[in-house]
């Protein structure tokens, strides 16, 4: 059980209220303009949360700062879900996919880091997975392999093998990540279950035509201009 100096219950109640409102609007039938308005409301509230986190950090209240990280990222996942629905209705399919993947990644960090008593309703990640299955075709992805030459810890800047931070854990409201600054690419392979679902195959070639995998529309490839060809 984590110890909180500041009572988090009020903050959690406020979060639940906002999340409840957003979830009522996270259906494809809801008016696009209403969803866009909700996205703006969420962005404003998340700004307030960021300021609150700064205040906690300045007072060295780590559990409180980490909780705000989780609440903020839960709301970011909901925001991405709304944005995905808006993109689908506006025929922006690449963006819709990117928003769904962002929601999954962001909510994944919440699940891994949030104290169990403050988890948002279970099954949210399942909801996102259902979107993936029902709304998008089966996709193929690329996976890159290589040797990492230079990397450092996002929290302290040292090599992760030298510092005490653990990748994927929260420290004072920030997630520790490995920042790769130099990598030697060895291979790119085609996979079905990638580390990064944004790294996907975008087009297929059939009968000499380039087809967008999401929309099945033909992509017109502009011939490279002479100036550009010369500069390569
Ligand atoms: Zn570190």
pLDDT of the chain, 232 residues: tens digit per residue = 466 677 788 899 999 999 999 999 999 999 999 999 999 999 999 999 999 999 999 999 999 999 999 999 999 999 999 999 999 999 999 999 999 999 999 999 898 888 666 555 568 999 999 999 999 999 989 888 889 999 999 999 999 889 999 999 999 999 999 999 999 988 888 888 888 899 998 998 988 899 999 999 998 877 666 666 666 5
In a domain, 209, yes or no: yes
In a domain, 1, yes or no: no
Sign of the Cα pseudo-torsion (177, 179, 183, 185, in order): positive
User: How many domains in the chain?
Assistant: 3
- Cα(25) to centroid of ligand 1, in Å? 40
In a domain, 3, yes or no: no
* H or E element in which residue 210 lies: strand 209-212
Same domain as 65, residue 128: yes
Q: Are strands 209-212 and 203-206 parallel, antiparallel or unpaired?
A: antiparallel
- Cα(176) to centroid of ligand 1, in Å? 7
Same domain as 156, residue 106: no
Final residue belonging to a domain, choices 93, 112, 135? 135
pTM: 0.88
Q: Using N-to-C axis directions, what is the helix angle for 9-25 and 62-89, rounded to 10°?
A: 10
- Cα(150) to centroid of ligand 1, in Å? 14
- Alpha-carbon span 178 to 110, nearest angstrom: 18
Same domain as 162, residue 93: no
Residue 119, pLDDT score: 58
Terminal Cα distance for the chain, rounded: 59
Same domain as 44, residue 13: yes
Judging by beta carbons within 10 Å of its beta carbon (0-12, 13-18, 19+), is residue 195 exposed, middle or buried? exposed
Same domain as 206, residue 169: no
Residue 100: closest CA among 68, 133, 71, 70: 133
- Cα(156) to centroid of ligand 1, in Å? 4
- Alpha-carbon span 132 to 128, nearest angstrom: 6
In a domain, 2, yes or no: no
- Cα(105) to centroid of ligand 1, in Å? 22
Same domain as 72, residue 13: yes
- Cα(232) to centroid of ligand 1, in Å? 40
Residue 153's domain comprises 137-193
Same domain as 61, residue 45: yes
Residues whose CB is less than 8 angstroms from the CB of residue 155 and which lie 6 or more positions away in sequence, other chains included? 163, 165, 171, 174, 176
Same domain as 168, residue 59: no
In a domain, 4, yes or no: no
Residue 123, pLDDT score: 85
Same domain as 103, residue 14: yes
Same domain as 16, residue 123: yes
């Amino acid at each position: 059980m984590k110890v909180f100096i500041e009572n988090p219950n009020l903050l959690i109640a406020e979060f639940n209220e906002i999340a409840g409102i957003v979830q009522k609007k996270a259906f494809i039938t809801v008016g696009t303009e209403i969803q866009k308005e909700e996205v703006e409301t969420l962005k404003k509230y998340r700004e307030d949360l960021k300021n609150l986190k700064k205040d906690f950090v300045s007072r060295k209240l780590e559990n409180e700062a980490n909780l705000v990280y989780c609440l903020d990222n839960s709301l970011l996942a909901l925001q991405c879900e709304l944005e995905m629905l808006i993109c689908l209705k506006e025929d922006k399919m690449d963006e819709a996919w990117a928003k769904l993947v962002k929601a999954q990644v962001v909510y994944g960090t919440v699940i891994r880091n949030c104290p169990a008593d403050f988890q948002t309703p279970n099954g949210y990640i399942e909801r996102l997975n259902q979107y993936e299955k029902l709304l998008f075709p089966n996709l193929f992805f690329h996976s890159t392999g290589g040797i990492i030459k230079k990397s450092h810890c996002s929290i302290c800047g040292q090599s992760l093998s030298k510092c005490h931070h653990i990748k994927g854990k929260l420290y004072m409201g920030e997630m520790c990540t490995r920042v790769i600054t130099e990598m030697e690419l060895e291979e790119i392979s085609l996979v079905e279950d990638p580390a990064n679902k944004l790294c996907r195959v975008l087009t297929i070639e059939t009968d000499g035509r380039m087809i967008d995998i999401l929309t099945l529309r033909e992509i017109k490839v502009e011939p490279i201009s002479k100036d550009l060809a010369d500069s390569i």
